[in-house]
Structure 1
Amino acid sequence: MTDLKNKVKQFINFFFYLISCLVIKKKNRIVFGAWLGDRFGDNPRFLFEWLAEKHPNEFELIWIGKPHIYDQIKKIDNIKFYEKNSLQGLFKSMTAKYAFFSHSHHDISNLNVFGNCITVQLWHGVPLKRIGDDSIGYESPNDFFSNFNRNKMTNYCFYISSSQENSNKLLTAFRQFSITADKILSIGQPRNDFLINQKDFTFTYKKKLYDLFPEIKDKNIITYMPTFRDKTANNFSFKLLTGKEKEKLTELLTKHNAIILEKNHYAETGSSRATLAPSPYIKSLTDVPFDSQELLLASDMLITDYSSCYFDFLLLDRPIIHYAYDYQSYGSIDRGFYYDLEDVSGGSIVKTEDGLLESIDKNLTEPNLHKSNRKSTIAFLLNNEKGISNEEIYQRILRGK
């Protein structure tokens, strides 16, 4: 029965795609979405906001998502919002000339209604973890609808990348979607334009955090942002430390006048979402609509495991620690990695709680400890991040130059 239901869904999707191929497109209409409609964020957000500011009257800018994100965007001038899968949202999507995604058409609509639309896969960061066709154990379905979906319906017109090395990985990760080198624009990411161009205004974003947590004012901000796990579920959280480790952490943070902000992946479950006991040293942003890029700007240090957010953070030239407590199992059971973490870490790598606390102390004391490593990783994976991605997208895609 499940297989039959899937076939029916595929047929409906196929039908609507064919219909959308026949629909006349409005030449200045652009639709955006991100993270399956759940978030107003990532690369689509920063391109969306840039266009609203720089070219407010040139395009009809439409964000499509779930109702709960409307409050985050309603104050932006010259934009429209429609609910994902609503009739209006489907009509606007079907008649748009351009569509920008962070993941897939599911960011905007459960139905692929983007036939003859210029579709742009902005993705959501430079991958350390394997993605798409490169993921460990990934096997694509081999039937008519699935093959047509990959080769026609999800045949993106453009991709963006941060470097030639990043482009090489996109060519293998999206190989079933008819990707070719000429479809990739190695121009950096809109979300990194924001980091590069706002780097000198860090206090603005610290102040936004002070408004949420007045008690953290003038403290060193250590942000912990772990990755999402598909299969492994052994999630670390500072708030679960007990006994001597908790005492050591408290002493360490007191010594450096620091606090820890935890922001877990929005889809994460399990121990990482355990109830946060009141603490003057550890605060949770997991369920607070605080943009990740703004949080990176406000942070003095980043702790992660394997999240690609650390590649973005490299552009700020601040300390990074990888708490790689399950490096072997994650690499062999979950997604797998493109690179040895030692080669592209841009910072410290630790595998025990004691090592983590020692590394926090050392990096706060010597913030330039891994400066050369940060530079070499940027040169390898982020060398086309120049802070002009939005302008390049505007010129090359929206103006066809």
Structure 2
Amino acid sequence: MRVFIKKAMKKLMLGHRISHIEIEDNRKLKVMFDQLSHLSGKTYLVLKDKATGRRLQSEIQGNKAYINLNELHEMADAGKMDFYLKSYLFNRTLQTRIAHNHDVPLFEHIDEERKKKLRFYKTIRNNLSLMTEKTSFRCTLQELKPMGNNFYLAGEVEPLEEMKPATVEMVLVRRDTRQGFGYKFELKKKPGSGNMYTFNGMIFIEKLRSALAMNSRWDVFFQLRDDKNNLIHREIMNTQGFRSYEREEYRYLETAQLNDEHVAVLYATMGKNSLALWYTDKNQYARTYQIAKGKSIFNEVCEREKLNTRMVFFESFLGKNYSGNPKYIYEEMIQNSRFKDYIFVWSYSGPNPECIPGNPIIVNRSSEEYYKFLARAKYWVSNIILPIHRKREGNVYLQTWHGTPLKKLGFDIEIEGPETLARENFYIESRNWDYLVAANKYSSDIFKRAFKFDKKVLEAGYPANDIFYQGDTSSKAQRLKEKLLIPASKKVILYAPTWRDNEMANSWDHTFTLPFNLEDMYQRLGEEYVLVLRLHHLVSEMLEIDPKYKGFVYDFSKYDDIQELYTLSDLLITDYSSVFFDYANSRKPILFFAYDFESYRDNIRGFYLDMARDLPGPIIRTSDDLLDAIENIDSVSAQYAQKYEEFYKEYCSLEEGNAAKTIAELVFK
């Protein structure tokens, strides 16, 4: 109750909206507010240096506050500073970040006397920050346009001291590999303008061809040299004065069509507003541009409408499925009278919206409605990542996750690959999580470290695993077989491998072939078994099965709910996928077909467990050994019975069939 009261008072006392920012007489930073709460006696504007933690503080009087620029520059020669609002409640300090108002233009200020640049920007979470740095030149981008497959850039540069540039270059640096490519531009003294110069030139994409990789991103640097070819100035090319970014999609400045499939895009980065190049395919660009438009819609709704305190927004696997922990929490809520007045929204783009019970509002992730409802809903429930990296005051984000980790996650990954490149997004996303669900203490410890998460972890078991403990599972299995047209007399082998970071055609495009001899399996096991495939969504599109195996092989990779496939199967074959942690709740046999064990362990992701010691089933390397194990599954199960029991106690002991109910009643208040 005390925490709730403090949060409520903080919200009332620190309510605010910035209405104006300017530099007065090159001496003072002036910040003006409207909608400023006056419940407390005194309220302060605070600037905090990110690197040192040092602060400048100024009382807000008449809805405005001033920061002396001399003091600001003395506090930090160069760096980043965050804006805070501070007040007091009895003997407690209340403080909150100052949000950026999209109606207030952000700008760059050159302090010629001090040779300093001040650049105001908004963070990825929509807060106001300030960057300061030394500078000897004022550089301005004035023109940017595609010319065929290339880009033309032009602008002006003005020395702030007695320095004479002789040549100018644009240098593109690839972010992941740090490869750099330079382009010489033309530099001319501007007639009748004192010490002003103009520059212009072309960025030829063909020059990058040898280093272009799908979805590679390149920062654009501006360099000046003197008449002796000494480097006298280098900065990342800023776009702040080139265009206003009150809408997120305006950051995509120009696009060059390279061929029928690929584009090069020059855009302004979030936060820094620096110039960067992105090489990608047309479809990916269209999706990303649509997300940017969605962020603009989200921001507009946030500023116009209040949160709906009885609205819950659900998404599972980027809206592709009705499945996972979000599904089972939702189904608990629609059956629980406590939530009868709630409004439910599902993000779903699959082919069967009728499979979602309870008559929720259904929105497609690519639609404007998606972002409108995301902005209105107080509660968010997801098991991966949302496209919006900011929350509203009062939002509650329940991250359910989707498995117990065997492979290393997030900041625990040491081997470079697409997962290490993606972890920054997960770090930003995890700053928004209020609750994170863990199936066991082991997962809880890993999540806290790998995601740098320090809020509430709910060690309640997984709602999706409630299915193993509720009702007659054998009857459920028969009903599912009938639904999926699997012969009732046949046993079911479920093959659910992970995807491999090293099997990539391009960034996040993967190849896949079955790693065992399907013909041998068909000949030896076809009388007794059928094979159900549940491949990772990144590789499922890559597999083709010969029609001769119809009736033996069932590809349910696109079947929404893997929990139901667990229920109907008689044994699981996997490798390094976390599915076996969930499947262990069934107590049915598990075989680990790890044909590339050493390579995967040492070169791809790395493991948390000692697989040879800790797994509840054998590690199998060859196709023949795999078939032998299936034919002798009873003896294999007997051999691993003790190890299986130990594994169950360690990783499944929290599962009792009521995780969805427990979590729903804890989170939705």
**Bin for the TM-score computed over the shorter chain:** 0.7 to 0.9
Q: Return the letter of the residue paired with 1:86.
A: S
Q: Secondary structure at the match of 1:296?
A: helix
Extract unaligned runs of 5+ from structure 1. Answer: none
Partner of 2:311: 29
Q: Is the 8 A contact 1:21 1:114 kept in 2?
A: no
Q: C-alpha separation between the residues in 1 aligned to 2:301 and 2:456?
A: 22
From 430, 433, 443, give the equivalent of 1:166: 443
TM-score, normalized by length of structure 1? Answer: 0.83
Aligned match of 2:456: 183
Q: Select which of 56, 65, 75 maps to 2:348.
A: 65
The 1:371/1:9 distance shift into structure 2, 3 A limit, reads: farther
Instruction: Give the Cα–Cα distance (whole angstroms) in 2 for the partners of residues 369 and 282 of structure 1.
Output: 28
Find the aligned partners of 2:470 and 2:667 in 1 and give their Cα distance: 22
- Per the TM alignment, residue 48 of structure 1 is displaced from its structure 2 partner at its CA by 1.4
Deviation, 1:173, is 1.3
Whichever residue aligns with residue 485 of structure 2, its letter is: F
Cα distance in 2 between the residues matched to 1:28 and 1:270: 39
Q: In 2, Cα distance between the equivalents of 1:268 and 1:152?
A: 25
Question: What amino acid maps onto 1:190 in structure 2?
Answer: P
CA distance in structure 2 between the partners assigned to 1:83 and 1:151 by the alignment: 24
Q: Which residue of 2 aligns with 1:222?
A: 493
CA distance in 2, matches of 1:20, 1:167: 35
Please name the residue that 2:433 is paired with.
156
Matched, 1:208 2:486: no
Deviation for aligned residue 1:294: 0.4
Aligned-pair identity in percent equals: 22
Write 1 or 2 for the structure with the bigger share of helix.
1
What CA RMSD, in Å, does the superposition of the two structures yield over aligned residues?
3.0
Q: Which structure's relative contact order is higher, taking Cα pairs within 8 Å and 6+ residues apart?
A: 1
Structure 2 contact 407–605 (Cα < 8 Å) conserved: yes
Unaligned runs of 5+ in 2: 1-150, 152-216, 220-251, 253-265, 272-291, 505-510
Post-superposition offset of 1:46:
1.4
**Could you say which residue in structure 1 is the equivalent of 2:645?**
375
- Of the three residues 465, 468, 475, the one matched with 1:195 is 468
Residues in 1 aligned to 2:429 and 2:513: alpha-carbon distance in whole angstroms:
41
Alignment partners' CA distance in 2, 1:206 and 1:94: 42
AA matched with 1:284: Y
Q: Structure 1 residue 238: deviation in Å?
A: 7.0
Q: Distance in 2 between matches of 1:389 and 1:228?
A: 28
The CA distance in 1 between the partners of 2:621 and 2:349, in whole Å, is: 38
SS of residue in 2 equivalent to 1:169: helix
CA distance in 1, matches of 2:349, 2:432: 25
Distance 1:322 1:328 in 2: 14
Q: Out of 371, 379, 385, which is 1:98 matched to?
A: 379
Size of the aligned set, in residue pairs, is: 376
Q: CA deviation at 1:369?
A: 3.9
Q: Write the deviation string for residues 120-143 of structure 1: whole angstroms up to 9, x where unpaired.
A: 11111101111222223265699x
Matching residue of 1:125: 403
CA deviation profile, 1:337-380 (whole Å, cap 9, x unmatched): 11121233211211111111111112145644422222211222
Larger CA deviation: 385-394 vs 204-213: 204-213
Residue 381 of structure 2 contacts residue 399 of structure 2 at CA under 8 Å; is this kept in 1?
A: yes
**Aligned partners of 2:541, 2:343: CA distance in 1, in Å?**
41
Q: Judging changes above 3 Å, is the alpha-carbon distance between structure 1 residues 361 and 121 closer, same or farther for their aligned structure 2 residues?
A: same
**1:65 Cα offset (Å):** 2.6
| Correspondence 1:224-373 to 2 at 5 A | 224-232=495-503, 235=512, 237=514, 241-242=518-519, 246=520, 250-254=523-527, 257-268=528-539, 273-279=543-549, 282-289=552-559, 291-364=561-634, 367-373=637-643
CA distance in 1, matches of 2:642, 2:620: 19
**How far apart are the structure 1 equivalents of 2:644 and 2:434?**
33
The aligned amino acid for 1:206 is Q
Pick closer, same or farther for the CA change 1:8–1:53 going to 2, 3 Å.
farther
Asked whether the equivalents of residues 24 and 95 of structure 1 are also in contact (C-alpha less than 8 Å), the reply is yes
The one of 322, 332, 340 equivalent to 1:50 is: 332
- Scaled by the length of structure 2, the TM-score of the pair is 0.52
CA gap 1:262/1:97 in 2 versus in 1, 3 angstroms: same
Map of 2:9 onto structure 1: none
Q: Is contact 1:122-1:159 (8 Å) kept?
A: yes
Q: What letter corresponds to residue 212 of structure 1 in structure 2?
A: L
Moved more, 347-356 or 382-391: 382-391
Q: Which has the larger radius of gyration?
A: 2
1:167-203, Cα deviation, whole Å (9 max, x unpaired): 111012101xxx11x51111111111122224x2333
Closer, same or farther in 2 for the Cα pair 1:322/1:87, shift >3 Å?
same
User: What is the letter of the counterpart of residue 321 of structure 2?
Assistant: R
Q: Is the 8 A contact 2:584 2:652 kept in 1?
A: no
Corresponding position: 1:115 with 2:397: no
Asked if 1 retains the 8 angstrom alpha-carbon contact of 2:590 and 2:617, the reply is yes
> Does residue 1:83 correspond to 2:364, yes or no?
yes
Counterpart residue type for residue 164 of structure 1: K
- Give CA-to-partner distance per residue, 1:199-249, whole Å, 9 cap, x none: x233323332234335x222111111111222236855278534xxx1x65
CA distance in 2, matches of 1:354, 1:17: 55
Which secondary structure state, in structure 2, belongs to the residue aligned with residue 43 of structure 1?
Answer: helix
Q: Does 1:10 align with 2:270?
A: yes
SS at match of 1:129: coil
Do the aligned residues in 2 keep the contact of 1:52 with 1:78 (CA within 8 Å)? no
For 1:251 and 1:152, locate their aligned partners in 2 and report how far apart those are by CA, in whole Å.
48
More off after superposition, 189-198 vs 360-369: 360-369
Question: Which amino acid in structure 2 is aligned with residue 25 of structure 1?
Answer: L
Which residue type is aligned with residue 500 of structure 2?
R
Give the distance between the partners of 2:352 and 2:622, measured in 1 at CA. Answer: 38
In structure 2, what is the Cα distance between the partners aligned to 1:362 and 1:398?
Answer: 48
